[in-house]
């Protein structure tokens, strides 16, 4: 076949993929070609605009490194990450809601016992985080692993700072025999997503701000349950209603209570005012995930 024009090209490309053996790949490619060609017909890009788009995506890839994930930022700021999240997490009663992973999770993090201070001495208001992990609608889950990571008092993650040689505001711990966990850290600050790259250009061109409301990230895993990836946001934060990555859910907003000097619930004597977050998590059983998938 030859002489394709703007009316016949789509069918020709669809036909070229029609013998793809994997039915899922075949369906995905058919939808991609349909939507991509319709998008191009809708915007009718000039060659210069198409070249700018290629250049934008090229630079987005080139911006990525072990500690910087520009494509996740792009997915997040377009709402694509939260859409994928919403489709994949239709949650049962009692299960904690999910939100974006974000670009600052890294595999390298220290294992710490309950009660540890994970701030590595960074300045900021001391924060005690206490919580529990339960099966949604069920009992406590001992031995669940809990990854936490959060910004510091200046709004930076440890991996963004060139002046740190140890993890800070980042650790992995486990629930005790009662399904409980607790650790000390510093209160996180709201922060801008990295905006010195292509995604920042996009935000400036569209007059959007780059800020995310303050939060602590949690990734919680236990055998037989769906891994939970979520945040707990700080109630009262000025950016709760305009998160640059659309990640806020009401059930994930909690009081990081202001506490006067005194004795904290874990027995620590506090000479300065401090903050206290108490939050209980519910994990979705894998069996429920299978049932939900079958019903969908
Ligand atoms: Fe974050």
- Whole-model pTM? 0.88
The Å distance, Cα 155 to ligand 1 centre, comes to 9
- The mean pLDDT of 272-292, rounded to a whole number, is 85
**What would the pLDDT profile of 126-175 be if each residue is shown by its tens digit?**
999 999 999 998 999 999 999 999 999 999 999 988 777 889 999 999 99
Task: Mention every residue, 6+ apart, whose C-beta is less than 8 A from residue 218.
Answer: 146, 147, 148, 228, 229, 230, 231, 232, 281
The Å distance, Cα 233 to ligand 1 centre, comes to 10
Q: Which residues surround ligand 1, an ion (CB under 5 A)?
A: 102
Instruction: Return mean pLDDT, the chain.
Output: 94
Task: Mention every residue, 6+ apart, whose C-beta is less than 8 A from residue 220.
Answer: 133, 144, 145, 146, 147, 227, 228, 230, 281, 283
The Å distance, Cα 42 to ligand 1 centre, comes to 35
Inter-residue contact 245 to 227 (CB < 8 Å): no
The Å distance, Cα 193 to ligand 1 centre, comes to 8
The Å distance, Cα 101 to ligand 1 centre, comes to 8
**What would the pLDDT profile of 38-64 be if each residue is shown by its tens digit?**
999 999 999 999 999 999 999 999 999
Q: How many residues does the chain have?
A: 296
- The mean pLDDT of 184-189, rounded to a whole number, is 98
Dist CA 194 CA 206 (whole Å)? 16
The Å distance, Cα 275 to ligand 1 centre, comes to 19
With residues binned 3-state (H G I as helix, E B as strand, rest as coil), the percentages for the chain, rounded to 5, are 30, 25, 45
Other beta carbons within 10 Å of 241: 8
- The mean pLDDT of 280-296, rounded to a whole number, is 69
Q: How confident is the model at residue 291 (pLDDT cuts 50, 70, 90)?
A: low
Inter-residue contact 153 to 186 (CB < 8 Å): yes
Measure CA of the first residue to CA of the last residue in the chain; give whole Å.
Answer: 40
The Å distance, Cα 281 to ligand 1 centre, comes to 18
């Amino acid at each position: 076949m030859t002489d394709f024009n703007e009316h016949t090209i789509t069918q020709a490309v669809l036909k070229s993929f029609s013998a793809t053996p994997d039915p899922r790949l075949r369906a995905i490619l058919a939808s991609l070609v349909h939507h991509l060609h319709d998008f191009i017909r809708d915007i009718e890009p000039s060659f210069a605009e198409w070249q700018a788009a290629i250049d934008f995506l090229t630079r987005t890839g080139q911006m990525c490194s072990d500690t910087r994930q520009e494509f996740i930022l792009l997915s997040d700021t377009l709402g694509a990450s939260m859409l994928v999240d919403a489709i994949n997490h239709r949650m049962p009663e009692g299960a904690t809601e999910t939100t974006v992973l974000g670009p600052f999770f890294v595999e390298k993090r220290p294992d710490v016992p309950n009660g540890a201070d994970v701030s590595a001495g960074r300045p900021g208001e001391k924060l005690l985080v206490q919580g529990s992990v339960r099966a949604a609608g069920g009992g406590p889950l001992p031995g669940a692993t809990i990854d936490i990571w959060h910004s510091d008092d200046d709004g930076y993650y440890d991996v963004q700072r060139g002046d740190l040689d140890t993890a800070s505001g980042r650790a992995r711990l486990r629930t005790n025999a009662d399904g409980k966990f607790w650790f000390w850290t510093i209160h996180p600050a709201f922060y801008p997503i990295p905006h010195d790259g292509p995604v920042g250009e996009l935000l400036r061109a569209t007059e959007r701000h780059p800020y995310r409301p303050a939060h602590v990230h949690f990734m919680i895993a236990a055998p037989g349950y769906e891994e939970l990836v979520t945040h707990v946001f700080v109630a009262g934060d000025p950016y709760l209603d305009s998160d640059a990555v659309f990640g806020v859910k009401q059930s994930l907003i909690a009081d990081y209570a202001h506490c006067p000097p005194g004795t904290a619930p874990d027995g620590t004597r506090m000479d300065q005012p401090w903050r206290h977050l108490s939050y209980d998590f519910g994990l979705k059983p894998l069996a429920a995930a299978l049932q939900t998938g079958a019903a969908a």
